Structure 1
């Protein structure tokens, strides 16, 4: 069974979407570790390494997604984890480009389907 760590970043307090993604991933056979809202990147990295996560999913709708996702990728690689990072949310186009250049595996914006997201996690792991 593939293990996925999910978390909300920054000041974003809206977690319905990420929790729904977690449910769909669990229904698709993934083990989901949901860390909750306003989680620091260092905590995400620590838990992902401890849990030997096969992938990390990040969500942020309040801005800062590119910054936080980049920090998460950097932290994982520094700790020796190659877990792919998939990110969903809103940010400036330049920030999305920045996080993709930093090694984020996939980005999902508003309107992405659950089927598309679950398929991306399957492909990434």
Structure 2
């Protein structure tokens, strides 16, 4: 009998943003959806996110920032994942940034971006799809 472990997600707040209500709601929705969630907390450097994702054998990384800089941090994170031979871990970003920065992070390889007003169901579905893609399914 083979057992498949739940999709493992590493979540973190990047930049100087201290507003964590949204990421905590997403964490709760993911847990309720059967995911394993490792929440690293606020103001987490991208190097720490990469290290945790590798150590935790994460299937997906989720980052959040509401104070600007989401595109910058997400793009840097993707670059560091590639440099660490962990480019196969999809990154989902949520928060607020300028349209040009959002396009830049998506062009850099972010799996999805969710802004204010996105439905929790859509976010959870994206993590499920990304988690399966990240496993090579």
Q: Output the TM-score relative to the length of structure 1.
A: 0.98
Choose the corresponding residue for 2:57, options 45, 52, 59: 52
| CA-CA distance at 1:69 after TM superposition | 0.3
| CA-CA distance at 1:4 after TM superposition | 0.2
- Report how many aligned residue pairs link the two structures: 125
Identify the residue that residue 123 of structure 1 maps to in structure 2.
Answer: 129
Distance 1:77 1:53 in 2: 15
Choose the corresponding residue for 1:103, options 70, 89, 109: 109
Where in structure 2 are there 5+ consecutive unaligned residues? 1-5, 132-137
Which is higher, the Rg of structure 1 or of structure 2?
Answer: 2
Distance 1:83 1:118 in 2: 16
Moved segments of 4+, more than 4 Å? none
Identify the residue that residue 29 of structure 2 maps to in structure 1.
Answer: 24
Where in structure 1 are there 5+ consecutive unaligned residues? none
| CA-CA distance at 1:78 after TM superposition | 1.3
| CA-CA distance at 1:67 after TM superposition | 0.4
Choose the corresponding residue for 1:90, options 96, 109, 123: 96
| CA-CA distance at 1:79 after TM superposition | 1.1
Identify the residue that residue 8 of structure 1 maps to in structure 2.
Answer: 13
Distance 2:74 2:109 in 1: 9
Choose the corresponding residue for 2:83, options 36, 57, 78: 78
Q: Output the TM-score relative to the length of structure 2.
A: 0.90
Say whether residues 1:39 and 2:47 are aligned partners.
Answer: no
Cα RMSD for the two superposed structures: 0.6
Task: Indicate conservation of the 8 Å contact 1:49/1:76, yes or no.
Answer: no
